[in-house]
Structure 1
Amino acid sequence: MSGYSFSLAGADLIALGAGALWWPAQQLLCVSDLHLGKSERHLRRGGAALPPYETRDTLDRLGVLVDNLAPQTVICLGDSFDDDAAVQALPESERSALEALMAQRRWIWITGNHDPAPVGLGGEALNTLSLGPLIFRHIAEPGFSPPPHSAGEVTGHYHPKVRLRGASRPAFLLDHQRLILPAFGTYTGGLCTTHAALRGLMAKQALAILTGPRALPCPMPR
């Protein structure tokens, strides 16, 4: 499976071209910003009707990764649902597909700004998770100063994208102490890496790792 290998705080990780993070030593798969139920939430709140297929597509793509990698642990890094009500509105077929993915493995829901409450689907709901040298949370802390037991921060939230030759691609952002994941959900926009919010978070030598058929690293455009 296509990926870019790197080390963060001594942990050997792989940024997959599919937009997920793989930690081989822990048999751990991490995805961020699934935003399941976005089309339902959009219509419920008076927005235009969107094709209601994004949840199934997101789960199908996640299912491919789970089947290929057989992770022992899956971390969903916040904003897994577009809001709390979207959990209850999941069609039975999609709820069953999600439950099948969760079966026989540790499944961790990190709370996000769209889904701050436990989702009620099993698994563990946590605000943050410290595992080995890494800490997983939804939103990067601007003043993050790593404590001795947790020297690298893994987050999502910003849906980073890189614009090249008029087209944009979701991307991981990586520096010496921080990794920001792209959004994995099908109906998700993105924030260009030239935005001040991302420029302020990432060190000057940061990399952008573009997703796609191949995971391609390049200097983070500023």
Structure 2
Amino acid sequence: MKGHTETEGKTVNKDFTLNTARLTARPSGALWWQEHRLLCVSDLHLGKSERAARRGGALLPPYDSRETLSRLSAEVALTQPDTVICLGDSFDDLTAAAALTSEITEGLNTLMAGRKWIWIEGNHDPGPIEMGGKHLAEWAQGPLTFRHIAAPKAQGEVSGHYHPKAAVAGRYRPAFLRDEARVILPAFGAYTGGLRAGDTALSGLMQARATALLTGKRIVECPLTP
């Protein structure tokens, strides 16, 4: 498919440029910046099942954090980043962060060892937790700014929060949304829902020629609006 490059066998990524930075959208929902060996993911929502049970919500199988950590570990193993940025809502709330099992915390510590790790604050986790790495409201590097929630009129912005999804052939998938000013990442965590790309909360942020990059076995790009 024109505009796509094949890596890791049948896995197909999508390269694009944002504010002069050459980026790669990966089928997992992770964003890769080769120039700085920087891996970015958003909305891990670790501890989601614990929080739901604590608040009297649906009793979800308690394996979401393990699955999310496994997916993140696979991306780190494939890309070998020097820096990892988690774009907020990494934990479903601060209590869920404190309640993570030793298996999850040890797994995170293993991933963080030997590399720069930046936790961006989200609306679910609006403060530092007892976890290694830097805990920041946002992070600027070169032509890009990384934050949890998109800011109107931003330029060169990488954000998350909305869990965007888009459809091809009637089937919805988590999706990156991108235009010349910004990219909004899909949720990386298990058990995370999604907001349709045409919702006014998203369409109001994106420029007229924005596109959606649907995740899956390969990235599929389509217009944000018909």
Q: TM-score range by the shorter chain?
A: over 0.9
Q: Give the conservation status (yes or no) of the 8 Å contact 1:6–1:13.
A: yes
1:108 paired residue number: 118
Tell me, in whole angstroms, the C-alpha distance in 1 between the residues paired with 2:170 and 2:22. 33
1:87-126 residue CA offsets vs partner (Å, 9 max, x unmatched) = 1100111111111111110000000000001122010001
1:136 to 143, 146, 151: 146
Tell me if 1:194 matches 2:204. Answer: no
TM-score (norm 2): 0.93
Q: Give the conservation status (yes or no) of the 8 Å contact 1:162–1:221.
A: no
Pairs within 5 Å for 1:122-201: 122-144=132-154, 146=155, 152-201=156-205
C-alpha displacement of 1:217 = 1.1
Tell me if 1:86 matches 2:96. Answer: yes
C-alpha displacement of 1:215 = 0.8
Q: Which runs of 5+ in 1 are unaligned?
A: 147-151
| Letter aligned with residue 211 of structure 2 | L
2:49 paired residue number: 39
Tell me, in whole angstroms, the C-alpha distance in 1 between the residues paired with 2:140 and 2:102. 33
Matched residue SS, 2:111: helix
| Letter aligned with residue 100 of structure 2 | L
1:48 paired residue number: 58
TM-score (norm 1): 0.95
2:207 to 198, 203, 206: 203
Matched residue SS, 1:201: coil
| Letter aligned with residue 215 of structure 1 | I
C-alpha displacement of 1:44 = 0.6
C-alpha displacement of 1:47 = 1.1
Tell me if 1:118 matches 2:122. Answer: no
1:135-162 residue CA offsets vs partner (Å, 9 max, x unmatched) = 0000001233x4xxxxx00000000001
Q: Which runs of 5+ in 2 are unaligned?
A: 1-6
Tell me, in whole angstroms, the C-alpha distance in 1 between the residues paired with 2:153 and 2:23. 24
- Higher mean alpha-carbon deviation, 160-169 vs 186-195, is at 160-169
Tell me, in whole angstroms, the C-alpha distance in 2 between the residues paired with 1:165 and 1:189. 20
| Letter aligned with residue 165 of structure 2 | K
1:163-199 residue CA offsets vs partner (Å, 9 max, x unmatched) = 3343210000000011000000011001001101111
Tell me, in whole angstroms, the C-alpha distance in 2 between the residues paired with 1:63 and 1:16. 14
Identity %: 56
Q: CA RMSD in A?
A: 1.0
Matched residue SS, 1:179: strand
C-alpha displacement of 1:60 = 0.3
2:108 paired residue number: 98
Tell me, in whole angstroms, the C-alpha distance in 1 between the residues paired with 2:191 and 2:178. 24
Matched residue SS, 2:192: coil
Q: Kindly tell me the number of residue pairs found equivalent between the two proteins.
A: 216
Tell me, in whole angstroms, the C-alpha distance in 1 between the residues paired with 2:41 and 2:111. 13
